Amino acid sequence: MKRDDTSEQEEYLRTPLPKRESKEMFGIIDQMMGGSRARVVCEDGKVRLARIPGRIKRKQRIRNGDLVIIRPWDVEDEKADIIFRYTHIQASNLSRRGLLPKELDVF
C-alpha cells in the first residue's frame, strides 16, 4: 500500500513559526516553577521566566524539554509569555528541516 505524503506536507504548512516582527522566538522549557510559570532558555541565550496562559494550560500539558514560542515583555525583558507549544513530532520536523537555531537544536 502506498503511503500518502500530502498529509505530512500539510502538517508543515500548519506548524506556526515565530513572528520575528513581534519579537517572538523559540525557547525550551528548562524548569516548571509552579503558579503557571516556567523557566525558559531562549534562542538569544537568555533565561526568562515565562507565563503559561490559561488557553494553553487548559488544553495542553507543558513539561520540561518542550519546544515553545515565547514573546518577551516590552517592560521587563527577563519575563515572557508562552505563545505556542510544539509537540515532539513537530519539534523533530522543525529540527530535520533546519528551522531551529543551533543553540536549541536538541531534537
How confident is the model over 59-73, as pLDDT tens digits?
989 999 999 999 999
Angle in degrees, CA 67, 72, 77, rounded to 5: 125
C-alpha cell at 64: 520540561
Count how many Cα atoms sit within 13 Å of the Cα of residue 88 in the half-sphere of its side chain. 4
In a domain, residue 104? The reply is no
The answer to whether residue 78 is domain-embedded is: yes
- Report if residue 51 sits inside a domain: yes
> Does the pLDDT value for residue 10 go beyond 60?
no
Name the grid cell of 12: 508543515
Judged against a pLDDT cut of 70, whether residue 45 lies above it is answered with yes
Reply yes or no on whether the pLDDT at 1 is more than 60. no
Give domain status of residue 85, yes or no: yes
* Total count of domains within the chain: 1
Mean pLDDT of 75-97: 94
| CATH code: domain of residue 52 | 2.40.50.140
45 assigned to some structural domain: yes
Question: What is residue 14's predicted lDDT score, i.e. its pLDDT?
Answer: 80
26: in domain: yes
Task: Say if 5 falls within a structural domain.
Answer: no
Tens digit of each residue's pLDDT (9 = 90 or more) over 96-105 = 999 999 888 8
In 19-85, alpha helices (H): 54-57
- The pLDDT mean for the chain works out to 88
Report how far residue 74's alpha carbon sits from residue 102's, in angstroms, rounded to the nearest whole number: 26
Instruction: Count the Cβ atoms, other than its own, within 10 Å of residue 28.
Output: 20
